[in-house]
Structure 1
Amino acid sequence: MVDLAIGLPCILIFVFLAIAANIFWLWMFIECLVKEPSDTNDKILWALVIFFGHLLGAVLYLVVRRHERIAMYGE
């Protein structure tokens, strides 16, 4: 009984974090496909980085490219 009391919250936290990570990944992937300009190959490159890098690729896009794109192109 004690093991269940300790294990269940850990499992719920893990499931919540996994769902949040997947939502964040999907949000960054869709934003890259929709809002990244198509005039260069940056859109394809970043989409591949996000798709194959999953959470790490999405965080890299957020930190490196998203703010730069907003400053250059707006939105």
Structure 2
Amino acid sequence: MIGTWQAIIIITFILSLIITLWALIDIARSEFSGNNKVVWVLIVLFTNFLGAVLYFFIGRKQKINH
């Protein structure tokens, strides 16, 4: 049986994985000036959840709107 703490850890891991993947998909579908797309991909990949949160608060404002 899975204990309460184990369930919390699994749910937290799954949520952080979903948020990270969501950020990477949003980065891939968007256009940025210069090398900002590559920089954001690297930030999200190497810092996982924290990078995704930073992207949603800072990086989305850097997208090029047509």
Q: Give the TM-score band, short-chain normalised.
A: 0.7 to 0.9
Report the count of equivalent residues: 66
State, as a whole percentage, how many aligned pairs show the same letter: 27
Q: Distance in 2 between matches of 1:51 and 1:29?
A: 8
Consecutive unaligned residues in structure 2, runs of 5 or more: none
Pick the structure with more helix per residue: 1
Divergent runs of 4+, >4 A: none
Say which structure, 1 or 2, has more relative contact order (CA 8 Å, 6+ apart): 2
Query: Shift in Å at residue 17 of structure 1?
Result: 0.8
Please list, as runs of the form range in 1=range in 2, the aligned pairs for 1:8-19 lying within 5 A after superposition: 8-19=3-14
> Paired residue for 2:65?
73
**Larger Cα Rg: Structure 1 or Structure 2?**
1
The root-mean-square deviation of aligned C-alpha atoms, in Å, is: 2.1
Give the TM-score, by structure 1 length. 0.74
Q: How does 1:40-59 map to 2 (within 5 A)?
A: 40-59=34-53
TM normalised by structure 2 equals: 0.83
